[in-house]
Amino acid sequence: MRRLTLRARLFAATALFIVAAAVVVTLASASSITEIRVDSYQLTADPRQVVANVTVGLSYEITEHSARESPTTVTLTVRARRPGGSWPSIGIFVPVPITLSNDLGERTVIDSFGTVVPQHGTYRAP
């Protein structure tokens, strides 16, 4: 059996390092999306729309928001992408409008962590 030359071994090691680095970067960016707790919600003039109030860190980006409905509850889910690097610990209040399939009515609103979310009146745009 033929042995690899030093040059071929270095090339193979470099290629393996590049592939491993690409996998690490891909996994790191995927793990930077996190679920955010919903602090409260507000009603709007439309009975099928609520505004979820969340607090995120500086430079977070809201990437997804949704509602899962049942006859007795509405589960609000908000996800955000955490920025890379180091950022000051500053909380930013963000209103996130979420449209429901049916009127909210008397249903209980919970977040994706199973916590009951308090209602804080009617939303008024700034």
Confidence of residue 26 (pLDDT cuts 50, 70, 90): low
Residue 30 has pLDDT above 60, yes or no: no
User: And the tokens for 67?
Assistant: 């509602």
Question: Which pTM value belongs to this model?
Answer: 0.73
Evaluate if residue 101 carries a pLDDT over 70.
yes
pLDDT of residue 125: 83
Q: How many CA atoms lie within 13 A of 68 on its CB side?
A: 8
Q: Could you report the per-residue pLDDT of 39-89, keeping only the tens digit for each? A: 999 999 999 999 999 999 988 999 999 999 999 999 999 999 988 888 888
pLDDT of 7 reads 87
- Check residue 69 and give its pLDDT: 98
If you average pLDDT over residues 107-126, what whole number do you get? 95
Higher pLDDT, 26 or 76: 76
Residue 29, pLDDT above cutoff 60: no
